[in-house]
């Protein structure tokens, strides 16, 4: 779809925008005044029968112990999701390589997502923003990118001492937000 006026149009360059959740992701490609959803990835939770992995320890007709050895579904889904995302991202290396890479993802998986990118894409990484952006319209994402890019340009002009103070403030602010009240 055409990008409306006032938003970054990425003329003569391309941008790959990845909007990720814990087990799903949308890959948007922007360039030459247009934005489109290229891929959608979703890892489903595996369905187990009610007694799968159940065990009992018996002796002389009596049951001493019983329980279930269930695999953790969260780790299975996460592994499947990251594997499918990694294979999809390989398509964007070489000739299809974007000029800019933007990631919107939840805070707990931020580092894991950054690690699965091929090295050629890691150099294109422009912005990583944490939060839940799955339901946002692409134009809202572009507005967010525009605001954050303006902030980054301002921060790049700061002296190194000011950057250190700003980074320390951000880390303290993040800590205070996560701390239970």
What is the pLDDT, as a whole number, of residue 70?
56
Residue 155: its pLDDT value, please?
55
Whether this model's pTM surpasses 0.85? no
What the chain holds in terms of domains, given with CATH numbers, is 14-178 (3.30.420.60)
Cα first-last separation, the chain: 44
Averaged pLDDT in 10-residue chunks for the chain of 181 residues: 86 91 92 91 72 62 61 77 90 86 91 87 87 90 87 66 77 74 62
Report CA-CA distances (Å) from 43 to 25, 83, 85, 120. Answer: 9, 10, 10, 25
Helix (H, G, I), strand (E, B) or coil at 44: coil
CB 69 within 8 A of CB 51: no
Confidence (pLDDT) at 106: 92
* Residue 8 exposed, middle or buried by CB count within 10 Å (0-12, 13-18, 19+): middle
Cβ proximity of 77 and 23 under 8 Å: yes
In contact, 40 and 48? CB cutoff 8 Å: no
Q: Judge whether 110 and 82 are in contact, CB under 8 Å.
A: no
Dihedral sign, Cα of residue 95, residue 96, residue 102, residue 104: negative
pLDDT value, residue 26: 94
Question: In this predicted structure, what is the pLDDT of residue 104?
Answer: 93
Residue 28 tokens, joined = 């948007």
């Amino acid at each position: 779809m055409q990008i409306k006026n006032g938003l970054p149009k990425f003329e003569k360059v391309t941008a790959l925008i990845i909007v990720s959740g814990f087990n799903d992701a949308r890959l948007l490609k922007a360039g030459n005044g247009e934005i489109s959803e290229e891929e959608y990835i979703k890892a489903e939770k595996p369905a187990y029968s009610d007694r799968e992995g159940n065990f009992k320890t018996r002796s002389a007709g009596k049951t001493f112990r019983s329980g279930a050895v269930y695999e953790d579904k969260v780790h299975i889904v996460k592994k499947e999701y990251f594997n499918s995302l990694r294979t999809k991202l390989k398509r964007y290396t070489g000739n299809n390589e974007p000029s800019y890479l933007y990631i919107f993802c939840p805070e707990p998986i931020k580092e894991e997502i950054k690690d699965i990118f091929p090295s050629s894409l890691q150099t294109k990484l422009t912005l990583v923003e944490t939060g839940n952006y799955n339901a946002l319209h692409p134009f809202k994402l572009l507005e967010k990118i525009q605001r954050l890019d303006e902030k980054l340009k301002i921060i790049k002009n700061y002296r190194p001492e000011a950057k250190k103070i700003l980074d320390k403030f951000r880390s303290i602010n993040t800590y205070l937000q996560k701390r239970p009240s």
